[in-house]
């Protein structure tokens, strides 16, 4: 048995959904361990496109248990819409193949409202959130006033919890000049939505422990990317949870010793959605090429992604912080036809060369990338499924990335299609020494 964690090594949008779906054939369960409906995973299977936000990417595989862990913040209304959407595409979703941790925090309409109000009030200082209520829900979680999935089993005990939550939010709303909430309205909202999610709620930690004892492999799926981690990302332009691999244990209810391999999903160039520093960002024809060919628009928000050269310094750093054992390099085909490619190998900051990305906000905004230039390739890599099918220049580019990030390339993805994938090292056969 090998338990594998899949995380993004950049700012998200690296193609985790496809890789998780592809690896899911080797697992018996796929577990989402953080984030919420702000995550966007696009899967293309036999020409059919599935767009997922809350549901683990493994949900499209038959005979597999999809799990939403306690580290996720779950919007019951978005969840219901997503269930209906994938069912309409022919997927069978029942309590037999989908499980939600009973201690999962819920996102309520009041969280979405607060998210929007704050972004509007921030003006030019906005963070660039998706407006899905993720941050406010995590705030209530750590403030010990959140409503959790298990609370929906007991409507009598739910009322005082709602009172506590609404009292806090009304203080905030008064300060912003907004109409106050009524606890009875929130109670009605929850009692109406409860039947849609109650059948899926259970003891995730116990289920995973039983799988571990039976020697059944588990795949853990992260959302966003390491550079959006609340502690290790480009703070304050980050998400509200820990996106690095260490959170797989906390956000699902397993021990850290049960994780055998960490696969870092890494785009062959760099993209970012929303505000915040981006040292290798491009504003020229090369950046436009990446955006156009890579169809760089957010799955959830449809916002255009900012594009730039591959930043090996950033990825090397996130590999170390997340304990990444191997890289899955995605969207290599987007670089087809580019005459010249650049890789960031370090930065200049205040006249000095540094080999790391600083954590201080002004320093992050002022670093200047140091580039190494490599030749591009004219042949296509799109759809390649064998290592030998790749052009020599593409192979050289991959090898150079491998050297610079100090982690071996385990997988190469050459299109959004499930089978257009080159396996170099099988994560499920890699055991810790």
Residues assigned a catalytic role: 13, 41
Measure Cα distances from 92 to 86, 89, 164, 221 in Å.
8, 9, 38, 21
The dihedrals phi and psi of 124, each to the nearest 5 degrees, come to -70, -15
Cβ burial of 395 (10 Å; 0-12, 13-18, 19+) is: middle
Under a CB-based contact definition with an 8 Å cutoff, are residues 224 and 234 in contact? no
Q: Based on the number of CB atoms within 10 Å of its own CB, is 299 exposed (0-12), middle (13-18) or buried (19 or more)?
A: middle
Q: Tell me the two tokens of residue 177.
A: 């000049």
Spatial neighbors of 110 by CB under 8 A, at least 6 apart, are: 133, 136, 165, 166, 169, 181, 186
CA distances to 136, 149, 199, 313 from 190, rounded to whole Å, are 17, 10, 15, 46
State how far the Cα of 369 lies from the Cα of 343, in Å rounded to an integer: 9
SS (H, E, C) 137-191: HHHHHHCCCCCEHHHHHCHHHHHHHHHHHHHHHHHHHHHCCCCCCCHHHHHHHHH
In 3D, which of 271, 278, 236 has the Cα closest to residue 367? Answer: 278
Those residues whose C-beta lies under 8 Å from the C-beta of residue 58, and which sit 6 or more positions away, are 20, 21, 24, 27, 29, 30, 64, 66, 219, 221
Sign of CA dihedral 298, 263, 367, 340: negative
Helix (H) / strand (E) containing 348: strand 340-349
- Residue 304 is given by DSSP the state B
DSSP letter, residue 335: G
Q: Are 355 and 311 in contact, with CB atoms under 8 Å apart?
A: no
């Amino acid at each position: 048995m090998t338990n594998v964690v899949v995380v993004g090594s950049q700012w998200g949008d690296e193609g985790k959904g496809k890789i998780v779906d592809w690896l899911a054939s080797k697992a018996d369960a796929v577990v989402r361990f953080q984030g919420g409906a702000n995550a966007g995973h696009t899967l293309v299977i036999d020409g059919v496109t599935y767009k997922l936000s809350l549901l683990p990417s493994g949900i499209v595989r038959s005979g597999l248990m999809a799990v939403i862990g306690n580290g996720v913040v779950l919007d019951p209304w978005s969840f219901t819409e997503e269930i209906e959407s994938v069912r309409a595409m022919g997927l069978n979703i029942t309590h037999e193949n989908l499980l939600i941790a009973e201690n999962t925090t819920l996102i309520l309409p009041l969280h979405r409202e607060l998210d929007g109000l704050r972004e509007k009030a921030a003006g030019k200082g906005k963070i660039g959130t998706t407006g899905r209520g993720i941050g406010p829900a995590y705030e209530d979680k750590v403030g010990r006033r959140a409503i959790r999935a298990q609370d929906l089993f007991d409507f009598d005990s739910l009322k005082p919890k709602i009172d506590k939550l609404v009292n806090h939010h009304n203080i905030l709303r008064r300060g912003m000049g907004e109409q106050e909430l009524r606890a009875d309205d929130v109670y009605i909202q929850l009692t109406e939505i409860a039947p849609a999610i109650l059948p899926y709620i259970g003891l995730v930690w116990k289920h995973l422990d039983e799988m571990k004892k039976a020697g059944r492999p588990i795949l853990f799926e992260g959302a966003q990317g390491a550079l959006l981690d609340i502690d290790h990302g480009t703070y304050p332009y980050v998400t509200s949870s820990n996106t690095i691999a260490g959170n797989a244990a906390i956000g699902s209810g397993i021990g850290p010793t049960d994780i055998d391999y960490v696969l870092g999903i890494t785009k062959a160039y760099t993209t970012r959605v929303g505000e915040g520093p981006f040292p290798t960002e491009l504003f020229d024809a090369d950046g436009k090429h990446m955006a156009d060919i890579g169809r760089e628009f957010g799955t959830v928000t449809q916002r255009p992604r900012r594009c730039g050269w591959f930043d090996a310094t950033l990825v090397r750093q996130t590999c170390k912080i997340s304990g990444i054992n191997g890289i899955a390099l995605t969207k290599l085909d987007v670089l087809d036809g580019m005459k010249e490619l650049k890789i960031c190998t370090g930065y200049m900051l205040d006249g000095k060369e540094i080999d790391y990305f600083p954590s201080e906000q002004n320093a992050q905004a002022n670093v200047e990338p140091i580039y190494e230039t490599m030749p591009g390739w004219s042949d296509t890599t799109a759809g390649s499924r064998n290592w030998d099918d790749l052009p020599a220049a593409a192979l050289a580019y991959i090898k150079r990335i491998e050297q610079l990030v100090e982690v071996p390339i385990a997988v190469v993805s050459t299109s959004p299609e499930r089978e257009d994938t080159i396996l170099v090292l099988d994560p499920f056969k890699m055991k810790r020494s």
